[in-house]
A and B are shown apart, each in its own frame.
Chain A
Amino acid sequence: MSATTTDPWTRRSANPKLDRVMVSPEGVPLNVTVATAGARAGALTLDIIIILGLILGVTLLGLLILWGFESAFGEGLILEESGPLSVVAVLWIIAVFLFRNAYFLYFELGDRAATWGKRAVGIRVAARDGGRLTAEAVIARNIIRDIELFLPLMFITSGEAEGTMTDFTAWAGFLWVLMFLLFPVFNKDRLRCGDLIAGTWVIQNVKRNLGGVVAPSAEAIADPATGTTTTRYEFSDEDLSVYGEYELQTLESVLRTGTDEALETVTSSICNKIGWEPGSGDKRIFLESYYTALRAKLEGGMRFGKRRKDKYSADI
């Protein structure tokens, strides 16, 4: 991977500790950000609520069908063992099994590799080695989920329901869940045991819009006669040598999103720095011209393999 892509100032995630580089099969390093533990917990909570909701819905549906049969044909038919009751019971058992085991499988095998809960918080599953996310990997990571979560939960709830729950088993179950739930917090890639077995990780989705060209109005005024271009502001090399890439990109974000006030502040600080008198002209046009000139200079340096990180670095 090339050095520049991993340099800190080219990445802009909120938590640099979770930034990773994944090399695509074409050999291009791609920046990915591992999903935070909080996002994963939120997604899981949502998914569990959805699964419980689905189970509840199927149960109610089954009761409704039975009630319908009862009012249509009378009670006797329902209680016959191979009557509607057993059909509904078979369907119910299969549906609950599928909700518990196939919900995650189905969604994570799809194009977005994310359950509804994961989609809601903007994360997805991916193969850790940068290859294809295979069906085997998705099956593996979700089979392990069973001992991590569902097994102890079932154990605790059924024990509670049957009254066979002792303090010891309750605590053991609780510790068990806690151990697996906290597992991701104690490794740097936030891997669950299932991720470990399946060779997957959960990363943040990225969706960014393409903004416009940063400084459209700074475009050169072309002279139709000679074809040469001039801008409204002329900056000397010294004027441009006070800043580096960091300042340039700060200026870019001000130009993209800044208010008039911010523009004004930035203008005066730049003018101070380069010893100009802040005039009463259009701040935006001034800043765009300065931005364009500075970027032209720094990009010119880049073409010769020279980069200037920020204003403290040596001038190129």
Chain B
Amino acid sequence: MANMVTDPTAEQAIENAALKSDRFRLEREADWVRLEDIVTKMEKGKARRLSDDDVLALPTLYRTLLSSLSIARESSLDAGLIDYLEGLALRSYFMVYGTQTSFGQWLKGFFGGGWSQSIREIKVDIWIALFVMIAGTLIGYVLVAGDSDWYYALVPGNFADTRVPGASEAALRETLFSTKEHDGLGVFAAYLFSNNAQVAILAFALGFAFAVPSILLLIHNMALLGAMVWVFAQRDLTVEFIGWLSIHGTTELFAILLAGAAGIHVGRSIAFPGAKSHLKAASDAGKRAALVMAGVVIMLICAGLLEGFARQLINDTGLRYLVGGTMLTFWLVYFFVFGRSRVETGT
């Protein structure tokens, strides 16, 4: 252990100390004070002002302190000293094992494979969510086809302006190809993003209750879509409607799919933890799903921009399919092909 004491008066104090444990303390005190100084600076967010020496010394000083603490616990009855060492050990432990990566590095790891990997890890739940969403769409379609009153039960008032059962083809076409609303697109995009992100977060967070609410939410949202498809299908506008939808929908629905899958993943892990304890299973699944969710928010920003700008500006069904299809291909390749062969270093 480094003996930092060179000051003659300190040496004198060590000489004079009547107790072995006090000598032990006085010999190491300088190291502890230095460590405390470093830790305090880091806690105050002034880590950049630390000298290179200090940064390099931190792990060593921390391990030295831990050994001092172990010795003190077994050999010293100075309660104040042990208290101090306990506190300092915990504080420096948090610094040494703190979030070591900067935000930039985290982002790099996230986009460079961490995101794709987390999505591949919940593949089973993605299949479940996909099945649920398709089922929801069919339910909506079939319900409204059977009795068009269901439409009003499924679709909230603010969507159902002109897009109602029995609307004329011209009115419906107008909603798909209107060029009137070009102004204020930015606000629209930002609003859509904020709104959709909150829905996705809800789909995930509700998974906590054994995934049941997540599944219900997915079914409900997709039933709404199915009902709308029926309305447009009645006037032979199915292809145009899906084109209109696909431009942002491939991204947005994919994001909602992932959010739902993340929620199902958490709920499933809590209900069936396997060999792990419930708490461990929940927290493992939660961390994996959180990574997926961070990505979902990013996808929803893209979807908001596509919906707010591209959909209003591109008025050709073929082009709409092209943009939607390109986005879908991009996501699929990025999630399921990219970084496969890479050695997984963990995130």
Which A residues contact B (CB, under 8 angstroms)?
Answer: 2, 4-5, 10, 12, 24-26, 28, 30-32, 80-82, 86-87, 89-90, 93-94, 96-97, 101, 109-113, 124, 126, 128, 131-137, 139-141, 143-144, 146-147, 151, 193, 196-200, 205-211, 213-215, 218-220, 222, 229, 231, 245, 248-249, 252-253, 256, 292, 295-296, 298-299, 302-303
Contacts and interface: CB of A to CB of B under 8 A. Distances in A.
Contacts of B36: 210
B287 A137 contact: yes
Interface residues of B, number: 85
Contact of B293 (A143, A196, A299): A143
A93 B75 contact: no
B240 to A, nearest CB: 26
Contacts of A207: 87, 91
Interface string B65-81: 01001100111111111
Contacts of A25: 97
B197 interface: yes
B205 A206 contact: no
Contact of A199 (B33, B66, B185, B284): B284
Given A96-B194, A136-B287, A199-B282, 8 more contacts: A31-B86, A81-B184, A90-B189, A111-B94, A146-B205, A197-B282, A197-B283, A222-B15
Most buried by B among A101, A126, A136: A136
Contacts of B187: 86, 89-90, 93
B18 A298 contact: no
B215 to A, nearest CB: 15
A151 B90 CA distance: 35
Interface stretch (B20-28, B229-237, B243-251): B20-28
Given A81-B183, A249-B79, A147 B205 contact: yes
A211 B84 contact: yes
A220 B18 CA distance: 6
A28 B205 contact: no
A213 B290 CA distance: 49
Interface residue SS majority, chain B: helix
Given A28-B70, A132-B99, A132-B100, A146 B25 contact: no
A139 B293 contact: yes
B291 A136 contact: yes
Contact of B17 (A31, A196, A219): A219
Interface of B: 13, 15-22, 25-26, 29, 32-33, 36, 42-43, 45, 47, 63, 66, 69-70, 73-84, 86-91, 93-95, 97-101, 103, 106, 183-187, 189-191, 193-194, 197-198, 201-202, 204-206, 208, 266, 279-280, 282-291, 293-294, 347
A211 B91 contact: no
A147 B13 CA distance: 59
Given A30-B90, A206-B87, A249 B77 contact: yes
A139 B290 contact: yes
A12 B77 contact: no
The 8 closest A-B pairs by CB, nearest first: A199-B283, A81-B183, A197-B286, A140-B290, A206-B87, A139-B290, A136-B287, A147-B205
Contacts of B198: 146
Contacts of B186: 82, 86-87, 89-90
Contacts of B98: 111, 113, 132-133
